[in-house]
Structure formats: structure tokens, C-alpha cells
Amino acid sequence: MDSEQIELVQKSFARLHPIAHTMDDIFYIRLRELDPKLYPLFKGFMGTQNAHFMHILRMLATGLVRPEMTVVITDQLGRRHLGYGMQDEQYQALCKALVRTLAQELGDEFTPEVQAAWSAAFDLLVKLTKEAASKVALAYSH
């Protein structure tokens, strides 16, 4: 990600603060629409998930300029998603649900440039999360 994309993510995230209380619900509705098989993996953890949803997005947005923060987030997410039984191919539905949620919540401010910036951020998040999960899985397989 370049500095312009990081700035777009951070500025658009700042606009989400007033509507943070609805973001998690909208995300899980979008996730259920995109992949009904994936939704049940999270259903049992919804109380915890809802409490962490905006926190994770906030840490991602601010952590893009501090890579060590992004690694902390992805290490925790990788462990949790491994425990939920997430498969690598299911991350695509998560990213689509996140993008659709942002599109709905940001409206006209969700320009193609903002979408590309968030997509790049989610791609990075997924890459690092999958790497963290595979390290944990490898450690337990020995």
C-alpha cells in the first residue's frame, strides 16, 4: 500500500465513528448473504465479535503506518480464525462483506479510490492473518 491509500483508509475510517454501533450488524448480514456456510462459524462468538469488530478496523487503519501493529492484529486474528475453523478460501467472502458494508455506510464517499485502498488493506490483513494461522497450525501438527 502506498501513502495515499493509507491516508484514504484512515480518513474514511474516521467518518465511520458516528455509525460504529451499526457496522458490525451490517457486516454479518452481508456475510450471511455472501456465504451462508461461513456465517455459522462466527455465530457462537457474536457477542465477542461485535465488541471487537470496530476495534479491529481501527487498529488496521491506524496500523497501516505502523507495521508492528498490523502484525499484532493479524496474529490474534489468525489464531481466532483457526479456532473457528476458517478455511483459506473463505477469507474472500469476509473481504467482500467488509467492502459492501463500507460501501453502504460511506455512501457517495466510497469512491473507487477509497474502495481500492480498503481492498488493499483487507488483502494485507488476510495475507498476514492466514500466515499467522498457518504458523499456529504447523506448530500444533508436530
The answer to whether residues 75 and 127 touch, using CB atoms and an 8 Å cutoff, is no
For domain 3-141, give its CATH number from 1.10.10.2120, 3.90.1150.200, 1.10.3720.10, 1.10.490.10: 1.10.490.10
Cα 60 to Cα 29: distance, rounded to the nearest angstrom: 22
Could you state, in order of their start, the residue ranges of all structural domains in the chain? Answer: 3-141
Q: Going residue by residue through the chain (142 aa), what tens digit of pLDDT does each one get?
A: 899 999 999 999 999 878 777 787 788 888 888 888 776 666 554 555 555 678 888 888 888 888 777 777 777 777 776 667 777 778 888 889 999 999 999 999 999 999 999 999 999 888 888 887 777 666 666 5
Q: Is the pTM of this model over 0.85?
A: no
